[in-house]
Amino acid sequence: MIPRSPIQAKGLLLASIREQCPTLFFEPKILYRSAVEQVPVDDYTLPLSKIETLIPGSDLTVLSYGAPIYTCENAISLLNAPPPELDRENLIPKGVRGAKVELIDLRTIVPWDMEGVMESVKRTGRLVIVHEAGRTGGVGADIATEVQKRLFLRLEAPVKIVAGWE
């Protein structure tokens, strides 16, 4: 499990504790100081191995998990409403402005919600995977391989991976 926020952390942690199989729970330390939410006191769990669609869209699926979710949200909002200093043709081409980008949070990397990811990519025809890990041997490489293998004829473009330093 790799939560993106305090509310996610509590719900996924409680679900992990109650899971019969062993689980690993990764907490991005940067979120300790940057993500602020009012976490409910009540007991609750979040479904394991299920994606969450944060922003619905129809032109492109962006898949991420953990801290990069916030970077993806910022990029999507800049794409839809660029500030004046970025509102130049050479920085954001008109062809991509206003694109309906779907942002999904993977939340659980093993096992990952293959059905949910495939559903989203079938709708959009495109996939960009964003994660902090290196490209080689990263989770994104496994997801990209599965998506290209299962949806090859439905993809409008190759799957792209935006990853950390190698």
Q: Read off the pLDDT of residues 21-67 as tens digits, 9 standing for 90 and up.
A: 888 888 877 776 776 778 889 999 999 999 999 999 999 999 999 88
CA-angle at 144, arms to 142 and 150, nearest 5°: 100
Task: Work out how many domains the chain is built from and give that number.
Answer: 1
Q: What is the pLDDT of residues 107-132, one digit of tens each?
A: 999 889 999 999 999 999 999 999 98
| pTM: predicted TM-score of the whole model, two decimal places | 0.87
Residue at 27 is within a domain? no
CB 77 within 8 A of CB 42: no
Residue at 74 is within a domain? yes
Percentage above 90 pLDDT, the chain: 57
Strand partners, 141: none
Give just the sign of the alpha carbon dihedral 73, 163, 126, 141.
negative
Please, what's the largest Cα pairwise distance for the chain? 54
**By residue range, what is the domain housing residue 74?**
52-164
Residue at 20 is within a domain? no
Residue 133 carries which side chain, given as an amino acid letter?
A
> CB burial class (10 A; 0-12, 13-18, 19+) of residue 156?
exposed
Residue 90 is predicted with a pLDDT of 65
Residue at 68 is within a domain? yes
Residue at 7 is within a domain? no
